[in-house]
Amino acid sequence: MTADSGVARTGPSTDYSRLTPLPKGTRATITGREGEWLRLDYGGWINTKETSILKSAVPPRSLIRSIRARQVDRKTEVVFPLQVPVPVSVQQGERTFTLTLYNTTAQTDIIRLDDDPLISRLDWQQLAPNQVQYTFNLKSQQQWGYKLTYDGTSLVLSLRHPPASSLTGIKILLDPGHGGAELGSRGPTGYPEKNINLVISQLVREQLIARGATVYMTRETDQQVSLPDRVAMIDKLEPAIALSLHYNALPDGGDAINTQGVAAFWYHPQAHSLANFLNNYLVNNLKRPNYGVFWNNLALTRPATAPSVLLELGFMINPNEFEWIVNPQEQRKLAAAIADGITQWFRTVTPKSRVP
């Protein structure tokens, strides 16, 4: 893998679902080829553009012996020393984080994991002759983001610790969708989504700052920002949560009069609770129609560094909803409700602060 985070898929085209991205440096044997896609020995497919081909008589396989963990900067870093950087996959459960290493055989005899704010216990098993699975049993249900990188041939998994339960000092990233030449959806008057996304994001920022949060925005003006740049900002800033704000367009063949409501999108299980909570909160507190909560593989739901949610706050093309969307008083109510929802969600998912 030559890309920072190689896009592994279940088949040889972008129509196929994404698997866990492969960290830069990962090695695997090519077992098939279709067009510009390579099938790798562990089952995933990858675009040749993200790879370079090494000639070797020996397939990349690894043994793993010891594992060690350390706490740095509100994270737990777990180091898996390997002989070769092998393909990996991640699965987040209700209270587990599971990491699978392919082409790997365990000779593990010792694991050091001190008492940890996040992890209650690490279990492992050799799942198949070439697959080792590590299950991190977690102290709470909410997960706060992770990164997987290769440092030479050592795999480094960094798991973020929970933030404080109040918004004071908490970093929140807001992403006003579209901007510049990219208009987004349009209202009945031609009013572009990019404008309202920025207006509502600025109002939400004001409300969050008033509640003590530190707020970052992917854009502050009407400018074009690429999706990779937005994602890179999340990965670099490591906010406690990332929220992308949009207004919806009508699906193909949709009925403009009867399609309306708030929707929330999530991708990694760590973002599900926030998506669900905010969607319910807006529907119940503002009496908005519920368009639904969706698992969806979007550029701004895909970041794994932080729980990342995308909200579609209403349908631009619905004439009634559009009136609500552009009403300044309703915009202020909506921004306050989003900030209140975020505040309450933090209270429900973070560990209770100790009683003095």
Binding positions for Zn ion, rule: CB under 5 A: 177, 184, 246
163 vs 177, beta carbon nearer Zn ion: 177
Nearer residue to Zn ion within complex by CB, 159 or 300? 300
Written as six digits, the tokens of 55 are 């000639």
CA separation for the pair 204, 332 (Å, rounded): 8
Chain residue whose CB lies nearest Zn ion: 246
Give the residue among 194, 203, 247, 245 at the shortest CA–CA distance from 223. Answer: 194
Q: Which two tokens stand for residue 118?
A: 């996040």
For Zn ion, give the closer residue by CB, 126 or 296.
Answer: 296
In the complex, what is the shortest distance from the CB of residue 308 to Zn ion, in angstroms, rounded to a whole number? 15
What is the amino acid identity at position 29? T
Q: What is the spatial distance between Cα 223 and Cα 221, in angstroms, rounded to a whole number?
A: 6
The secondary structure of residue 70, as a DSSP letter, is: E
Q: Tokens standing for 263? A: 């929707």
Is 6 or 184 the residue whose CB approaches Zn ion more closely? 184
**How many Cα atoms are found within 13 Å in the side-chain-facing hemisphere of 241?**
29
| 107 phi, psi to nearest 5 deg | -125, 35
Query: Among 142, 199, 149, 182, which Cα is nearest to 313's?
Result: 199
Nearest to 69 by CA among 4, 35, 113, 11: 113
Minimum separation from the CB atom of position 18 to Zn ion (A) = 21
> Which residue from 173, 312, 148 is spatially nearest to 241, judged by alpha carbons?
173
**Burial environment of residue 115 by CB neighbours within 10 A (0 to 12, 13 to 18, 19 or more):** exposed
- Rounded CA-CA distance 33/45 in Å is 9
Of 22, 243, 244, 240, the closest CA to residue 145 belongs to 240
Least Å distance, CB 153 to Zn ion, is: 42
User: Cα separation of 332 and 189, whole Å?
Assistant: 22
Q: Which is nearer to Zn ion, 184 or 239 (CB)?
A: 184
Q: Is 343 helix (H, G, I), strand (E, B) or coil?
A: helix
Q: Which is nearer to Zn ion, 313 or 337 (CB)?
A: 313
